[in-house]
Structure 1
Amino acid sequence: MSTQTTRRAAVAILATTAAVWTRAQTPQQLRIGFQKGSFNLALLKSYGLLEQRLPGARVQWTEFPAGPQLLEALALGSVDLGATGDAPPVFAQAAGKDVVYVGAEPPKPDSSAVLVKPDSSLKTLADLKGRRIAFQKGSSAHFLTVQAVRRAGLSWADVQPVYLPPAEARAAFERGSVDAWAVWDPYYAAAEISGELRALATSRGLTNNNTFYLASHALSRQPALLKTLFQVLTETDARVQADRRDAVQRYAEFAGLPVATVQRMVERRGAAPVGPLTAQLVSEQQQVADAFAELGLIPRPIRVVDALAQVKA
């Protein structure tokens, strides 16, 4: 599928969706899935803005260790909305999971890295040849690793992926079971601040670290409610930018992290208003999907536009 075709299809769908937003009706229940790295959602929960905007609705918040687990719950109907990085929706769509893209945040190209020990003999990405690299399968760190291997001029067969969720990956790294660890913030920031690990390469120039909001089909057909969600998420981000000290403290308490770690995470995060996907983001996401398909890491090629919210007037 050509990039131009992808863009045309995305523009048509996004224009249709934006055109039919009307006044939201308050749902009886809204179930939101988030991760430790879901900064906007974590702060939205802390500020209580969604509960204020949707009085009478019961908002349920559920934390997941990573995007793949969150999208599995979404596909099974356990949550209505969640945010993940670039790879989880690709794996979910390729596996026939029932998920729909409904929104996105701006790119965060500095928020993940391939980490090694400070005294490691690995100095360049090419040194990953033959090495064991830990990361969550189907996560944004998976795509980061794919891109890092490509940049090094290696083939996927040249490295040994070890599929582990973040906490288990760090434990494996610390006991010497793996040579490198690919991960995102706040895990990256925590390792960086501790000085126990160093970045062999950051995601800058390898991936934009796009964050997507995905929803059940039922929620995706309520554009007014989605607009309300995006408004409160964007308002949350505005509060973060206006009072970073308070935001850092709130997030540190939520995540159980040192303030210094959260400060580092926020420093490289930038502003993150939330809104509908742009054609550019759809095009970038198609490139992610194509990269996994070319390596045979997903069961079939996919068209990202097929999973975009489509709302009829």
Structure 2
Amino acid sequence: MIRRLATAALSLTTLLALTACGADSSADASTDGGQVTLTVGDQAKTLQTIVAASDALKGAKYQVKWAEFEGAAPLYQAVQAGAADTGYSADLPALQALSGGVQVKNVAALKNDGRHVGLVVREDSGIDSVKDLKGQKVVVSSAKGSVSEYLLANVLKQNGLSYKDVKVQYLLPTDAQAAFASGKIKVWATFGVYQAVGLEQGGRLLVDGGDGRVSGIGFINASETALADSSKKTALADFLKRLGTALEWTSTHQDAYAAAIEQRNGADASVARTLASAAYSKVLPITPGVNRTVQGVADLMNGIGVLEPNVDVAESADTSLLK
């Protein structure tokens, strides 16, 4: 079981790398011959798998072109370069993009329960509580400013510790997984399928992102260039509603969604179930409450030097597309 999960995780990462630079010009939407094409940034076929499995684009009056990337950072670079009209990510990567000057506006919020992010420790680590992390090396996957790093920073603060009380090292998930499996890592801040694999490889969940330890909020954003195009803006507003319907479908059809992940992404069945259970389940308007919650994330990460300069979350939103 351990070997199968580890192989599945590595296979999924290989899949991500293979799709990182590609763009699928075929649209799952039917069109009426119009010229409007919305280029939607995606990560590992996540959104297009959801949309295709739920048939959410049936009858759409525009074309959808999918632009594939391995993660949020290259996706936002593509949006900045005009190669994609939209991006999406968890809250902190979106904040990093905005802080770095990417010309996007958050147009909708995504929501899950946060349990797909966790701090995993080895069974023999002697670490039984967050306070035991003082003086320890913590490996964060994958890059500076990931949602797993926010979980680490937040739980340290909640337990009276400083971020300087731990020694942070950044490792890509597959590298960290191999090191964790060999016993070279005692504490791993990770997410999704890698969290599941770590728990199968002699790991124990110290704490996850549930109960508000991470916001559970992600963002769909759009380039300012796309938003200035009235036809694209209209298409994007319709796409957001259809994506909301598709995400609701995933929450009530997890077996069918997992099967779609296996079929379209080539993932192992256990990986597919993990990914299906960790999916965002709602598309929501960006409200003052959403902005306040994510501003708290921004302020904490700015305070420890991870997010520089800070971001005004409310000013980074366009609330006109989804009421």
TM-score interval for Structure 1 and Structure 2 normalised by the shorter chain: 0.7 to 0.9
Q: How does 1:275-290 map to 2 (within 5 A)?
A: 275-290=284-299
Q: Give 1:132 deviation, angstroms.
A: 2.0
Aligned residues: 283
* CA–CA separation in structure 1 for the residues paired with 2:183 and 2:258: 32
Counterpart of 1:243 (choices 253, 264, 273) is 253
The change in CA–CA distance for 1:145 and 1:117 in structure 2 (over 3 A counts) is: same
Match of 1:68 in 2: 73
State the alpha-carbon separation in 2 of the partners of residues 256 and 127 from structure 1: 39
Whether 2:220 is the aligned partner of 1:213: answer yes
CA offsets 1:87-144 (integer angstroms, 9 cap, x no match): 1121222222222211112242222111122332221112222222222211111211
Distance 2:190 2:263 in 1: 21
More off after superposition, 286-295 vs 215-224? 215-224
Q: Which residue of structure 2 aligns with residue 17 of structure 1? A: none
* Residue 304 of structure 1, CA deviation: 0.9
2 CA distance for matches of 1:97 and 1:260?
36
Amino acid at match of 2:253: D
Give 1:189-228 correspondences, 5 Å limit.
189-192=196-199, 194-205=200-211, 206-221=213-228, 222-228=232-238
Q: TM-score, normalised by structure 2?
A: 0.77
Provide Cα deviations, 1:248-288, integer angstroms capped at 9, x if missing partner: 1111334443323433454465x723132122111111101
Report the alpha carbon displacement of residue 34 of structure 1 after superposing the two structures with TM: 2.4
* Alpha-carbon spacing, 1:52–1:180, altered in 2? closer, same or farther (3 Å): farther
Structure-2 residue corresponding to 1:53: 60
Cα deviation code 1:178-215 (max 9, x no counterpart): 332212223323444x3542211111231122121111
Once the two structures are superposed, what CA deviation does each residue of 1:13-41 show, in whole Å capped at 9, x if it has no partner?
xxxxxxxxxxxx965433322234x7544
Asked if the contact 1:40/1:236 (under 8 Å) is kept, the reply is: no
Does structure 2 retain, via aligned residues, the 8 Å contact 1:34–1:42? Answer: no
| Other structure's SS at 2:235 match | helix
TM-superposed CA distance for 1:54, in Å, is 4.2
Secondary structure, aligned partner of 1:105 = strand
Q: Helix, strand or coil: the match of 1:100?
A: strand
The answer to whether the Cα contact below 8 Å between 1:33 and 1:81 also exists between their aligned partners in 2 is yes
**Alpha-carbon separation, structure 2, partners of 1:162 and 1:257:** 28
Higher normalized contact order (CA 8 Å, seq sep 6+, divided by chain length): 1
Counterpart code for 1:230: L
Per the alignment, in what secondary structure is the counterpart of residue 251 of structure 1? helix
Separation in structure 2 between the aligned mates of residue 255 and residue 191 of structure 1, nearest angstrom = 21
Tell me, yes or no, if structure 1 residue 99 matches structure 2 residue 97: no
* Residue 164 of structure 2, aligned match among 157, 163, 170: 157
Query: Is 1:123 matched up with 2:131?
Result: no
The percentage of aligned residue pairs carrying the same residue is 22
Tell whether 2:148 aligns with 1:141: yes
**Aligned counterpart, 2:43:** 35
Report if aligned partners of 1:220, 1:309 keep a CA contact under 8 Å in 2.
no
Distance 2:94 2:125 in 1: 33
Stretch of structure 1 that moved more, 77-86 or 168-177: 168-177
Residues 63 and 26 of structure 1, relative CA distance in 2, 3 Å threshold: farther
Question: C-alpha distance in 2, partners of 1:268/1:95?
Answer: 28
Counterpart for residue 5 of structure 1: none
Question: Is the contact made by 1:68 and 1:88 (CA closer than 8 Å) also made in structure 2?
Answer: yes
C-alpha spacing 1:263/1:303, structure 2 compared with 1 (3 Å): same
